[in-house]
Amino acid sequence: MEIIASSVGFTNRVTMLHKHIVKAGYKNCMFSVGAFATDAVKYGEDKLQYAMEPYMQKSKAEGIYHTIATPVFFGDKDLIEMPFYIAKKLYFESFRIARQAGCKSILCAPILFDVTEERVKLRAKQKKNKGMDFSKKEELRLKELEHRRPSVQEAKSFYLSLIPYARENNLKVLIPNNYDYYNGTIYRNALSDPYRLKEFVEELNKEAGYDLFKIALDFGICNLLGQNYHQVLSVLGNLIELIMLKENNGHNGASLMPFSSALGGKSSVDWLSIIRGLREIKYDKAVYIDYMDTYNAAPVSLRSDIVAYGKKIADYFSWQISMELVIAKYPSRVLFGAGNMCRNYMKCYGEEFPPLFTCDNNKAIWGQTFEGIEIKSPEALKELPDDTAIFLCNMYYDEITDQLRSMGLKNPIERYNDEYLPSMYTDRFDSEKREIKKEN
């Protein structure tokens, strides 16, 4: 499973964020083509491919690669100052640049170029004389354009226009889930409702003649819209090519570190449903973690730690999401530990993926049966074929791994965890007394 770092804030120079990303151990980074749209590029005096060369050389030297890109597009402030035709040209040129950077996909939100151009012209006129010759009609029109969102048909036309560029550069187009916004309120639309979004993407792929379009699912947007994560995931299924991990308070859009927007010890995002849903659809594609609001709000001296913590969270999600896929990939397996985690493994996976036995460091229980399997000494592991995996059902992962490696075992060692199981025991097993704990 690919873990992708955010590139928000990157420029054509190697920034401090890039250094933090390398230090944290990321290998894959979102490739923001817009980061290389320097002033010289904006005015046609330089080319994107030349502007990105120093960054690409540095990234290659540091072992950073890119699989997903975002195209160039500018805010109104830039668009007022530059020729609009250049901005539009750079957008489509982004496909070629993405391919040159080694990307396999490009993430594109729908854009209405005509609407954008009209809005920018009105803003430029409003700015020129500080609104002195700006009519009431023009003011109303500008407000209308500021809230204008693509209709389903307009979005479809936009994505169909990308087919030649994507095909020429051998790129998939990732469509992000989205929403409508009116009078301070957000609403679900065809790019957020899972059934309509699925139909929308399938129709585009039918027009393209192959699976060119996939979905980038932003859980932050799902949270804002109050959606059922499990339903969204089960409906969209294998159309999802990228998941975007971020958190917000459910009312305001933000890119916060997962688990950070909490109240009463509970996160505003239901990560339990998300992880369970991703396991059900056997998700094994890219994971993009976006915590840029958390990063930018932190003191400069702590930002390196924020990025490192983000990497740990991304690794944690990857581990949890792929848990069942890892269990299934081995022809045989044993467990290490004869407590609650082992008990929950047997409840969820004991029938489909039965272990040969479990083992434990507690000599007093060797030879006993627990949850239908025999408890053996760790020495029994030496008799296993090398391709039998050992799943650690104990939170002392590092210590047990060191113990097994010191025994000369070369078997795959995997870390099992029961925090996000599809079902689990609600009572607790006392490993010392070897009985279910009684409620007080």
Q: Where are the domains of the chain?
A: 3-112+148-321, 328-436
Compute the Cα dihedral for 356, 362, 363, 365 and give only its sign: negative
Integer-rounded Cα Rg, in Å, for the chain is: 26
Separation CA 391–CA 52 (nearest Å): 45
Q: Give the model confidence (pLDDT) of 154-204 as tens digits.
A: 999 999 999 999 999 999 999 999 998 777 788 899 999 999 999 999 999
- Three-state SS for 307? helix
- Three-state SS for 90? helix
Q: Does the pLDDT at position 427 exceed 80?
A: no
Q: Does the pLDDT at position 306 exceed 90?
A: yes
DSSP 8-state class, residue 37: -
Q: Does the pLDDT at position 264 exceed 60?
A: yes
Q: Give the model confidence (pLDDT) of 317-334 as tens digits.
A: 999 999 999 999 999 999
Residue pair 118/154 in contact (Cβ under 8 Å)? The answer is: no
pLDDT at 115: 86
Residue pair 55/12 in contact (Cβ under 8 Å)? The answer is: yes
Q: Does the pLDDT at position 420 exceed 60?
A: yes
DSSP letter for each residue of 214-251: EEEEEHHHHHHTT--HHHHHHHHGGGEEEEEE-B--SS
- Comparing CA positions, the residue from 341, 286, 272 lying closest to residue 314 is 286
- Comparing CA positions, the residue from 50, 22, 167, 169 lying closest to residue 102 is 169
pLDDT at 367: 95
Kindly report the CA angle at 63 between 59 and 67, in degrees rounded to 5? 75
- Comparing CA positions, the residue from 429, 413, 416, 331 lying closest to residue 371 is 429
243 contact partners, CB below 8 Å, separation of at least 6: 216, 217, 219, 278, 283, 285, 286, 287, 288
Q: Kindly give the interhelix angle for 113-128 and 84-100, rounded to the nearest 10 degrees.
A: 130
pLDDT at 11: 54
Separation CA 261–CA 247 (nearest Å): 7
DSSP 8-state class, residue 183: T
pLDDT at 195: 97
Which of 70 and 74 is assigned the larger pLDDT? 70
Mean predicted lDDT score pLDDT of the chain: 90
What single-letter amino acid sits at 177?
N
pLDDT at 245: 95
Which of 245 and 1 is assigned the larger pLDDT? 245
Q: How far is CA 88 from the centre of its chain?
A: 28
Q: Does the pLDDT at position 268 exceed 60?
A: yes
**Res. 263 pLDDT band, cuts 50 70 90:** confident
Q: b/e map of 207-222 (b: 16 or more CB within 10 Å)?
A: ebeeebbbbbbbbbbb
How many other CB atoms are found less than 10 A from the CB of residue 170? Answer: 10
Adjacency order of strands within the sheet including 28-29: 28-29, 3-5, 286-289, 240-245, 213-218, 172-176, 105-107, 68-70, 31-32
pLDDT at 43: 80
Residue pair 60/52 in contact (Cβ under 8 Å)? The answer is: no
pLDDT at 411: 96
Q: Give the model confidence (pLDDT) of 7-51 as tens digits.
A: 765 555 557 888 889 899 999 999 999 888 888 888 877 888 888
Which of 375 and 136 is assigned the larger pLDDT? 375
What single-letter amino acid sits at 2?
E
265 contact partners, CB below 8 Å, separation of at least 6: none
Residue pair 371/436 in contact (Cβ under 8 Å)? The answer is: no
pLDDT at 26: 94
pLDDT at 12: 53
Both tokens of 312, joined, read 């740990």
Q: Give the model confidence (pLDDT) of 384-419 as tens digits.
A: 999 999 999 999 999 999 999 999 999 999 999 998
Q: Does the pLDDT at position 286 exceed 90?
A: yes
Q: What is the fold, at CATH topology level, of the domain defined by 328-436? A: Rossmann fold (3.40.50)
Q: Is 59 exposed, middle or buried (0-12, 13-18, 19+ CB in 10 A)?
A: buried
**Which architecture does CATH list for 3-112+148-321?**
Alpha-Beta Barrel (3.20)
Both tokens of 401, joined, read 């791994």
